[in-house]
Structure 1
Amino acid sequence: MTSWLHLLLLQLLWPCVSPFKVCAFNAQHFGEKKAANDEVMDALVKIVQRCDICLVQEVQDPKGLAVSKLLQALNRPADLFLAVVSPSIGRKSYTEQYVFIYKKEKILVSDQYQYEDNHPSQPDVFAREPYIVRFTVRSPALRDLVIIPQHTEPDKAAVELEALYDVFTDVSSRWRCQNVVMMGDFNAGCSYLSKKKRRSLRLYTDTDFHWLISDNTDTTVRESTDCPYDRIVVYGQTLVDMVTSAGIYNFTKELRLTEAQALKVSDHYPVEMNLDLTFDSCLSLLPSISLILLGLLTAVGTKTVF
């Protein structure tokens, strides 16, 4: 069969074998200094481009130069990615941004807003309030996807994660959404959040929420640590049923880096989940695939493709 027909069929069938990947990555003080390091940027591009949606945390880029440089690298040579960047969020002089990088061919941004941490009984619970984004996925199987990011203050992890349930109820009331993901560097392990404390959280006791990253998963880069700090929590049975796998992306191993090289990128591994949208994708492609196959059969009959 001619090479161009092979390529065409592969392009058509790729959504039938490629999962929809949602990631969260604490890039550890990502700003202009890191963006100027070519080796670090090369690794970041390889990490982020694997994901259909990637939440990047601990971004310190008020001028937008580092994020712009990352997007330029991701979009070379094809224009594939866009980003939603939150305002700088935090207390006093220390602030961070939440950045959502997503593939524009698969996803649209339908809404976004900054959660206001002004509850009368517990004002200013969060060190970094969630900046919430509502995505429209170009798939009838999963139209609506809301992502609530959170990077907790380590010593207040239990308090902030308990308050994250209130963020969920606020979002659900505001948008009437059914498919919700809460993810990020929760500091949800080791000395910051014991298993006993986690079991008392509403996000854990409410069985409608599913914790996809287990307590046995080490999300840290350093060999001397073993902690499940970064988590993904999923709400909505439709969304839960689509999850085929979840875990970390060990970029030290996958990119063949030393520990020292990996730590220049971050001291956290990304956490990610794969969603199975293949059946829906293949159904939408059936007319195109049928036409291609019909053309192939016709060509075979006239002995023009062999």
Structure 2
Amino acid sequence: METDHHIPKEESEKIEENSSRLKIKTSSEQIIDKFNNHFMTKHKKRRILKTEILNIEKENRAFLEEYWENPEDNNLLKKLPLQPLSYYAFKDGISMIGSFNIRAFGLKKLKNNDIMRIIIPILRRYDIILCQEVHLNDEEMIEKLVDMVSNSSVPYSYTLSYPVGKSLNEERFSKHSYKERYLYLYKPNKWKLLDNYIANNSQFVRMPYVAQFQHLKKPHVKITLIGCHTQPGHAYNEIKALVTDVYAYVKKKSVKKSSLSCLLSLLCLNTKEAPIFGENCEHIILMGDFNASGSYLNKTKQAELDKILAQNNLIWGISHSSDTTVASKRAAYDRFIFEVKNKNRWIGDIRVWEFDKFWKDKYDPALITKLAMRVSDHYPIEFELKLT
């Protein structure tokens, strides 16, 4: 374990000015919403909108590239002691599953050793973790990330979506749309990937990515994860579609597979692979940065979604009152949605993993928050999946 370093007060004051720049300019998606709320019918308005989007995306990219390479902040990150191994010791008979909006994770961030020094232990905490806002287009860079997370005793593997994302006016701005990739990292010595696909549904700006896993030592335990990063201005409609359309489709597909497996078991075909009749349990879990709070999803809309979830025998895994953001503003953007029938039997502890809490107990909390924002503006969320 590293020695405890002191972060001088004068060094922390140096980043005060830089920290104010964390308020990144209005996103292209918000500008689209602004214009859509008016009558954007004239060619001139469309041209102005397109120009503003390109300028803001260019400025944001330039800002983030400079931001990740800020030497003063990097020096402070380098001095933070790593968390003790006891933070990563879990109970027997559970598998830790997580979801993490890793915030604009591109090449610059991957090459920043001081930031990656914090990110890697976070990712190693999980047997399966969904990463969002992955901007690495070169799959070799994804493999480099996997190599960094892996070690000789605990290797990791991955499944990666193609770039997803579109403008709300796809036909006009598709060449300039914001796109990201979903990435599931998992331990192949514990879990086997059975299936993965994009849920092709036009109601989403970033279509959900579905991955199904089977536990190697407990082959009757399967889990299907539906990962989604909703578009902020349309969180309600996308979460609703996630439940009523995507979940319904995945559930129907799961029932068909389960029926076939039971039939094979009864016929004693392929008995080595077939599940034991009556013991097969498959969990479907919706997860990701749903932007399910604040101005994106007010209390009225939250209450409407509560009813929709209840009608589909689903329940929130992260409450409306939770805080999944690193910044001082409280918001439960990141969520799990569980099936009611499975929650008590198969789901253990559910947490927001505040990866900076260890340092806040030792240093100035305001300073630590500013440094943690360089890792991500979101905390990972996690749950324990019971295997017995």
Please give the TM-score of this superposition, normalised by the length of structure 1: 0.79
Question: Cα distance 1:253–1:53, how it changes in 2: closer, same or farther (>3 A)?
Answer: same
What is the percent sequence identity of the aligned residues? 31
Q: 1:14-163 to 2 correspondence within 5 Å?
A: 17=92, 19-78=94-153, 80-91=155-166, 92=174, 93-117=177-201, 124-140=202-218, 143-163=221-241
Alpha-carbon deviations, 1:106-159, whole Å to 9, x = none? Answer: 100011111111xxxxxx210100111111112438521100001000010000
Q: CA deviation at 1:18?
A: 5.8
Question: Cα distance 1:100–1:16, how it changes in 2: closer, same or farther (>3 A)?
Answer: same
Structure 1: distance between partners of 2:139 and 2:308: 34
Contact 1:216/1:228 (<8 A) preserved: yes
Contact 1:107/1:135 (<8 A) preserved: yes
Q: 1:181-200 to 2 correspondence within 5 Å?
A: 181-200=285-304
Q: Is the aligned partner of 1:273 residue 2:351? A: no
Alpha-carbon deviations, 1:24-68, whole Å to 9, x = none? Answer: 000011011110111211111111111111000010111124422
Question: Cα distance 1:233–1:141, how it changes in 2: closer, same or farther (>3 A)?
Answer: farther
Structure 2: distance between partners of 1:66 and 1:254: 30
Question: Cα distance 1:204–1:198, how it changes in 2: closer, same or farther (>3 A)?
Answer: farther
Q: Is the aligned partner of 1:209 residue 2:314? A: yes
Q: Which aligned runs of 4 or more in structure 1 are off by greater than 4 angstroms? A: none
Contact 1:234/1:240 (<8 A) preserved: no
Alpha-carbon deviations, 1:217-247, whole Å to 9, x = none? Answer: 1100012x10000001112624541212112
Q: Is the aligned partner of 1:174 residue 2:174? A: no
Please give the TM-score of this superposition, normalised by the length of structure 2: 0.63
2:325 aligned partner, one-letter code: T
Question: Cα distance 1:272–1:15, how it changes in 2: closer, same or farther (>3 A)?
Answer: closer
SS in 1 for 2:179: strand
Structure 1: distance between partners of 2:208 and 2:144: 24
2:311 aligned partner, one-letter code: D
- What residue number does 2:371 align with? 261
Q: Which has the higher helix share?
A: 2
Structure 2: distance between partners of 1:16 and 1:36: 34
SS in 2 for 1:68: helix
2:378 aligned partner, one-letter code: H
Question: Cα distance 1:244–1:151, how it changes in 2: closer, same or farther (>3 A)?
Answer: same
SS in 1 for 2:356: helix
Q: Which has the higher strand share?
A: 1
Contact 1:43/1:255 (<8 A) preserved: no
1:75 aligned partner, one-letter code: S
Structure 2: distance between partners of 1:254 and 1:220: 16
Q: Tell me whether 24-33 or 170-179 shows the greater mean CA deviation.
A: 170-179
Give unpaired runs (5+ residues) of structure 2.
Answer: 1-88, 167-173, 259-281, 361-366
Question: Cα distance 1:71–1:59, how it changes in 2: closer, same or farther (>3 A)?
Answer: same
SS in 2 for 1:251: coil
Question: Cα distance 1:90–1:64, how it changes in 2: closer, same or farther (>3 A)?
Answer: same
Structure 2: distance between partners of 1:213 and 1:141: 28
Question: Cα distance 1:56–1:77, how it changes in 2: closer, same or farther (>3 A)?
Answer: same
Question: Cα distance 1:262–1:199, how it changes in 2: closer, same or farther (>3 A)?
Answer: same
Q: CA deviation at 1:174?
A: 2.1
1:222 aligned partner, one-letter code: A
SS in 2 for 1:87: coil
Structure 1: distance between partners of 2:319 and 2:211: 25
- What residue number does 1:250 align with? 354
Contact 1:198/1:204 (<8 A) preserved: no
Q: Is the aligned partner of 1:218 residue 2:293? A: no
Contact 2:206/2:230 (<8 A) preserved: yes
Alpha-carbon deviations, 1:3-32, whole Å to 9, x = none? Answer: xxxxxxxxxxx9863631110000011011
Contact 1:212/1:231 (<8 A) preserved: yes
The size of the alignment, in residue pairs, is 258
SS in 2 for 1:187: coil
SS in 1 for 2:165: strand
Contact 2:102/2:133 (<8 A) preserved: yes
Q: CA deviation at 1:205?
A: 2.8
